[in-house]
Structure 1
Amino acid sequence: MSEQKLSRKKGHRTSLRRNLLKSLIINERIVTTLPKAKYLIPLAEKVFRLAQKGNLASRQRIESFLAGKGKAYKKLIEYWPAKLVGRKTGFVKYVKLGQRKGDSAEMAVVEVIGAESPEVLAQAKELKQKASRKAEEAKDA
C-alpha cells in the first residue's frame, strides 16, 4: 500500500502524522484540511485498534507511532479502551466544514466517535444549507 505524500518529504510527513495523531488523542477533535483528515483516519483507526488489544506488543507499536510515552500515549492506553468497548472499527470520523476563507482549502473536523459535539454537527449542517441556498440562487439568476 502506498502512502499519501501530501506534498511533503518523508521526515516532515512523519512529524505531521505524529502531531495529528497526538492532537486527536488528547483533544478528541481537531480541525484540519480535508486531505490531512483523509490521511489521518486509517492511521488513527490502527492506533485505536492497537490500544484496544492492550498487550505488550500493541503498546510498543503505539509508542513507536507516537514517538514516546507522553500525554497522548497515557490517555490512549488508560482512557480510550474503556470508552470504545464493543467497537471493532469506526473509531474515528470526519465531517466536512466547507472552505477556509483565506485560501479556499476544504476543511474538516476529525473526531473520535465517543466524543461528538452537537455544535460541530450543527455547524456542518448550517454550512450545507447555506451552500444549497447559494446554488439555488445561482440557478435563479
Structure 2
Amino acid sequence: MPKPTKGPRLGGGPAHERLLLANLAAALFTNKSIKTTETKAKRLRPLAERLITLGKRGDLHARRRALTVLRSNKDALHVLFNEIAPLVAEREGGYTRITKVGNRKGDNAPMAVIELVLEPVSPKKKKAAAPKAEKPAAKAEKAEEAPAEEAPAEETAAAEAPVEEAPAEEIAPAEDGK
C-alpha cells in the first residue's frame, strides 16, 4: 500500500481522498478520458497505472485487488479487465497521458485532461552488442581514415571488373616442334 501523502489532502481527509481517486479512476476507465484539475490528475495517474497493471495480469486475485480500490464498481472493473488490458498488453508502462488545458473560468484553477494511451506501441529495435563508448578524438580519427579507405576500394572495383576474353582462335598455343 502506498504511503499516505503529507500535507493537505484533496478536499478533506485521507478517506475522502481515497473515495475521490477511486471515483476518478472509475470515470477514467469507463470514459477513456476525463477533465479534472492538474493536482487531481497527477494524483490519479499512479493509481490508474497500478490498476491497469493489475488488469494486464488478469487473474482472480488481481480482479479482487482492483475491486477493493474501485469499491464494487463492476462496470469499470469489466471495462478495465476486458477492454483496456488487451489494448495495452504490449505496452510496458505509461498507460496514461496528462495534457494541460488552461485555467477554469470560475476559480482560475489549472485544468488538465487525463486520458488512456491506447495506441499500439511500436517495439524498439535492440542494438546488437554495441561497443563501448569511444572518445571523440577516436571518432574523428576514424572519420579521417574512412575517405582514404574508399579510394582504394574504387580502384579495386575497377581492377575486379570482368576482362573480356579473346576467342580461343586468336590465341594459338606455341608449338615447340616436339
**What TM-score, normalized to structure 1?**
0.77
Normalized per residue, the structure richer in helix is 1
Task: Tell me which residue corresponds to 1:16.
Answer: 20
Letter in 2 for 1:81: A
Task: Please give the alpha-carbon distance, in whole angstroms, between the structure 1 residues aligned to 2:24 and 2:73.
Answer: 16
Task: Please give the alpha-carbon distance, in whole angstroms, between the structure 2 residues aligned to 1:64 and 1:82.
Answer: 22
Letter in 1 for 2:15: G
SS across alignment from 1:88: coil
Structure 1 unaligned regions, length at least 5 = 116-141
Using CA pairs below 8 Å that are at least 6 residues apart, which structure has the higher relative contact order?
Answer: 1
> Alpha carbons of 1:54 and 1:109: their partners in 2 closer, same or farther (altered >3 Å)?
same
Structure 2 unaligned regions, length at least 5 = 120-178
Task: Please give the alpha-carbon distance, in whole angstroms, between the structure 2 residues aligned to 1:70 and 1:7.
Answer: 26
> Alpha carbons of 1:15 and 1:2: their partners in 2 closer, same or farther (altered >3 Å)?
closer
Task: Tell me which residue corresponds to 2:53.
Answer: 49
1:26-85 CA-to-partner distances (Å, cap 9, x unmatched) read 000000000000000000000000100111211111011101152101111111111112
SS across alignment from 2:16: helix
Task: Tell me which residue corresponds to 2:69.
Answer: 65
SS across alignment from 1:79: helix
Trace 1:42-121 onto structure 2 (pairs within 5 A). 42-114=46-118
Task: Please give the alpha-carbon distance, in whole angstroms, between the structure 1 residues aligned to 2:38 and 2:84.
Answer: 25
Equivalent pair of 1:49/1:88 in contact (CA under 8 Å): no
Indicate the percent of aligned positions where both proteins have the same amino acid.
34
